[in-house]
Amino acid sequence: MTHDKLKQAALSQPEVFAEYEALAPEFEILRQMLQAREAAGLTQAEVAERMGTKQPAVTRLESALSSGKHSPSLSTLRSYAKAVGCHLEIRFVQTTEADKSRRNRRSA
C-alpha cells in the first residue's frame, strides 16, 4: 500500500480526520520553519548556534510541532525566526462558515 493510499484510508475515519485537522496549525508552522531554514541554507546545528542553544534543542523544537505534544513559546519561535533571517508574525484570521461547518461535523 502506498503512503497516499494509507493516508486516504486513515483520513476516511472521522476520529483520525478530526485529529489530523486539529494538528493543521502546528504542521503549517513546522512547514514554514523548515522552508525558512532551507531557504537560509542552514543546518539544525547552525540554527542552534545562532539561537544560542544546542542542535538537539532545535531537533526537539521541529519534531515537537509535528507531534502536537508541545507548543513552543513565542520567544522560542521568535529566536528561531531570527536565526533563519525571518521575523515572526502572528495573526487572528476570521473563521469562515466552512470552518464552522467542518468543526460542527467533527463534534457531532
**Ranges of each domain in the chain:** 3-107
Res 66 pLDDT > 80:
no
Residue 65 has a pLDDT of 81
Output the average pLDDT for the chain. 88
CA angle 7, 3, 1 (to 5 degrees): 105
User: Between residues 48 and 19, which one has the greater pLDDT?
Assistant: 48
- Considering the four listed CATH numbers 3.20.20.150, 3.40.50.720, 3.40.50.1110, 1.10.260.40, the one that applies to the domain covering 3-107 is 1.10.260.40
Q: What distance in Å separates the CA atoms of residue 81 and residue 71, rounded to the nearest whole number? A: 15
Quote the pLDDT of residue 26.
86
The pLDDT of residue 2 is 92
Q: What is the pTM of this model?
A: 0.75
Q: Please indicate whether residue 64 or residue 87 has the higher confidence score (pLDDT).
A: 87
